[in-house]
Structures are given as structure tokens and as C-alpha cells.
Chain A
């Protein structure tokens, strides 16, 4: 079974530039999450989708971050403009849906803002 796919694996940009990350969840998984993991910290939820609708984006900095899930499958997360403090690993996860299901994570995208 193919896992959660993310690209790119690494990205270096200058502050004030924009960047986009892509995620392809496990086939059939209705729920998709984006997490931000700053070095030395646990992952923090940015946004949760159920199919192509947003369930929770309460911790998403909406002035610079945006996300969409196309046709309830792939998702993109965008940062515009980037700040130094956005340097982190961005993790995508998916699950079948519902409160009892297991979450599976991708390899992540490491973003460095200089």
C-alpha cells in the first residue's frame, strides 16, 4: 500500500518569498492534516480537511498561510510571504476518517527561510 506522498523534500527560500507544498494522501483516506514541526518540538496542527471541506483551521496563520484540497484528494499548503520563523518541517497526514482511525504521516518537507 502506497503511503502519504509529499513534495518537495527540501526547500530553501528567502524571507518574503512564497512557497508551496504538495501532499497526496493514502488512497481512500477522507481526512487530511497539515502539521508544522519546529526543531525540537512536537508537530502542531495547522489545518484539517474532511474530503474537500475544512474542519479545523483554528491554528493556521491565515494572513500568510493558505491550503486547499482539490477534489477531496491532493492538497497544497502555501506560505506567502514567508518569515524566518516559518522554518520548520511541514508534515502531511491522512486517515480514513472518524475519531477512532489511525493517522499516517508522509516524509515531510523541510523548509528553511533565510
Chain B
């Protein structure tokens, strides 16, 4: 059974700092990994999708890396802003319930607070 762990559970940083969020998963047989952002009371917004054959993806101030063999991914946020405050969720996609079952397995998330 796939398990996804995110460390730390919460993080508070001053505005302008660079930061790294960590995600680890137990089963390396994944198709891809997706990072999401969730604001309070809202749904999930997709930030980055990394295919299993890729090492990293970048979008603006965000950079996500994937080391599939060691079961790890990191999300790097450069020059953090108060608007980045949210919960960040990592999810891996695999076929855990048979062919065609491309479900996402989520971690519990990291709650980020960026202090002005």
C-alpha cells in the first residue's frame, strides 16, 4: 500500500525567504507526482506535475524535483510572499487497484505561513 509523508507539517517563514517542502513515498512504482496548493475552505489547485521519467519541473518561483528511486520529491519556493500562505499537498499516481486505476495518493500536507 502506497504511503505518502510530508515534512514538516507546518512551517512559518519571513517574507522573502527561499524554502523547501519535502515529500516521501514508500512505493517507487509511480506514474507521476503532483503538487497542489489548498487555501482554507477551498479545493485543490494543481501547481506542478512531474512524470516518472522527469527529474524536475519549474513554474515561476516554484521548482519541484523527483527522485523516484529513493521515493522523494521536494518543492522549492523562491522569494516567498504572504500570498504563498496555504497548505501544500503532494500526491503520487500509481495503479494500486488494478489496471486503469490511476488514483492519486496524498500526503497530509504542509501548512505554510509567510510572515510579512
**Which residues does A use to contact B, with CB under 8 Å?**
4, 6, 31, 33, 40-45, 48, 50, 55-56, 58, 91, 93, 95, 98-100, 102-108, 110
Contacts and interface: CB of A to CB of B under 8 A. Distances in A.
B46 A42 contact: no
B81 interface: no
A21 to B, nearest CB: 13
Given A40-B108, A42-B91, A104 B46 contact: yes
Interface of B: 4, 31-32, 34, 36, 41-46, 49, 51, 89, 91, 93, 95, 97-98, 100-109
Contacts of A55: 98, 100-101
A56 B4 contact: no
Given A56-B97, A107-B42, A45 B104 contact: yes
B108 A107 contact: no
Q: How would you classify the secondary structure of chain B's contact residues: helix, strand, loop or mixed?
A: strand
A42 B41 contact: no
Contacts, number: 69
Contacts of A45: 103-105
A35 to B, nearest CB: 8
17 contacts: A4-B43, A6-B43, A33-B104, A42-B89, A42-B106, A42-B108, A56-B97, A56-B98, A56-B100, A56-B103, A91-B44, A93-B104, A99-B95, A100-B51, A102-B46, A105-B43, A107-B43
B51 A48 contact: no
Contacts of A43: 44, 89, 91, 104, 106
Contact of A31 (B43, B51, B102): B102
